[in-house]
Amino acid sequence: MHIFLSDKEGNLELLSGNCELKTVEELQKKYSDNLISVIEMPDTEKRLIVLETIGSRGGLEDCLSEIRHEIANPLNLIKVMVHIIHEGTVDGKKANELLGNIEKNIDKITDILSSLTDKYVDEDDQVNKIHVNDFIDSILDMFRYVFKDSNVLLDIRKSREVSLCNIHSVGTTLTQAIFNLIKNSFHILKKSNQELKIVKLVFERVDNKLHITIEDNGPGFSERAMESIFYKNITTNTEEDGHGLGLQLVREYIQKNKGEINLDTSFKAGARFKIKLPVEGVEKKSILIIDDIEDILSSIQTTLGEQYEVKACSNTKVAYQYLLTHNVDLIISDLRMPEESGLDFYKKSSREFPTIPFILFTAYPNAVVGEEMEKNKSGFRLVSKPHLDELEDEVEKIFKVAS
């Protein structure tokens, strides 16, 4: 197998194999009976050409599609970051950060090209387990700079239940599929003259499925385009529709991950894609809460009980016995209690269980607590009653760091 890079004049640069051909014309004449696969390189004027000699192993088309998208993603990110620097809207520190990211993406492309001879090792078929929160964070990381300096808004919403599930991705195919859908929406909206431009992502868990909705308020699709939107070799990347880059491959990638994707033809205010992916549950984190007021215990249980396993105790003696015999991931305690204060309980429990995070949930923080916090900067956190929303946010932050 020989792998070339071709420029727009048809000149060949050999990347892999042993071949002295210099032009695409020579290649086609000499190897007319062999399979030639050609991949357009997005945002460049070059093509990746693979000459598959008779008897070489199958699956070439799938492999090349993955190579193309592996290269396309860092190229697109480089293009966006270069554009931001050229506009001169960022300071020197931010420009240096962008240049560092450009170097990383160039290194990534270099690694991909240098490893093409070993591409038939099925590393990209490895199935990876991903927590949905981490998956959403990776999307934000990819598009943070893209949307920041544009007039297009990225609106990401998720239901509480998605924090309790994992998804599986074959290689990076799932990330690439979502990347292309968002990128298509961004580009068409950027060209649009409308005042409000929004790309919206919604993540919801319904039974054993993760539902992902990706929509924009752009011009949408024509009736003709809707009929063939996922067909092979069909693109709707025109002034009329603006979408369509790689949608056939997006569908293949979603299906490869045992999912399904559909265009919502009933949505007339832009374009809306709906994706369903299988999920598996995540074992709930265990939280021990201590408070001598029953109503407060009940309120905390109601707030945190859907996402976590919550054990409520009305005094520290019962709580400590539970701690000795059960796995606990977080302790939440009131400060002022009759038999033993929450601060004293923190000191005792942290000696035996130093890795368990601790939150003091109190309406009466005092100087002693402040001094103790200063001495134990990473030891415990303080949340003021009765702000259950702040408590919920703090719990989520703790478990996010831990994961």
In the chain, what are the domains?
2-121 (no CATH), 126-281 (3.30.565.10), 286-402 (3.40.50.2300)
Q: Contact at 8 Å (CB) between 60 and 48?
A: no
More confident site: 362 or 281 = 362
For position 34, what pLDDT does the model report? Answer: 52
Q: Is the pLDDT of residue 38 over 60?
A: no
| pLDDT above 50 (res 233) | no
Give the global pTM. Answer: 0.49
DSSP state of 285: P
Q: Are 300 and 317 in contact (CB under 8 A)?
A: no
Amino acid letter, 264? D
pLDDT score, position 13? 76
SS3 320: helix
Q: What was the pLDDT predicted at 316? A: 93
The pLDDT of 168-176, averaged and rounded, is: 85
H/E run at residue 173: helix 173-191
Decide which of 91 and 262 is more confident: 262
Q: How far is CA 167 from CA 54, 88, 125, 127, 153, in A?
A: 39, 40, 15, 10, 26
Q: What DSSP element (H or E) covers 57?
A: none
Burial of 25 (0-12, 13-18, 19+ CB in 10 A): exposed
Q: φ and ψ at 149, to 5 degrees?
A: -105, 25
Higher pLDDT, 208 or 287: 287
Q: Report the percent of the chain where pLDDT is more than 90.
A: 18
Half-sphere exposure of 154 (CA within 13 A, CB side): 21
| Mean pLDDT, range 194-207, rounded to an integer | 91
pLDDT tens column, 81-113: 787 777 777 787 888 888 888 887 787 777 666
Distance in angstroms (rounded) separating the CA atoms of residues 233 and 230: 9
pLDDT score of 235 more than 50? no
Residue located via tokens 């109503």: 295
Q: What is the pLDDT of residues 17-27, one digit of tens each?
A: 667 778 877 77
- pLDDT category at 359 given cuts 50, 70, 90 is very high
Distance between CA 161 and CA 143 in Å, rounded? 24
Distance between CA atoms of 350 and 323, rounded to whole angstroms?
A: 11
Residue 331 pLDDT level (bands cut at 50, 70, 90)? very high
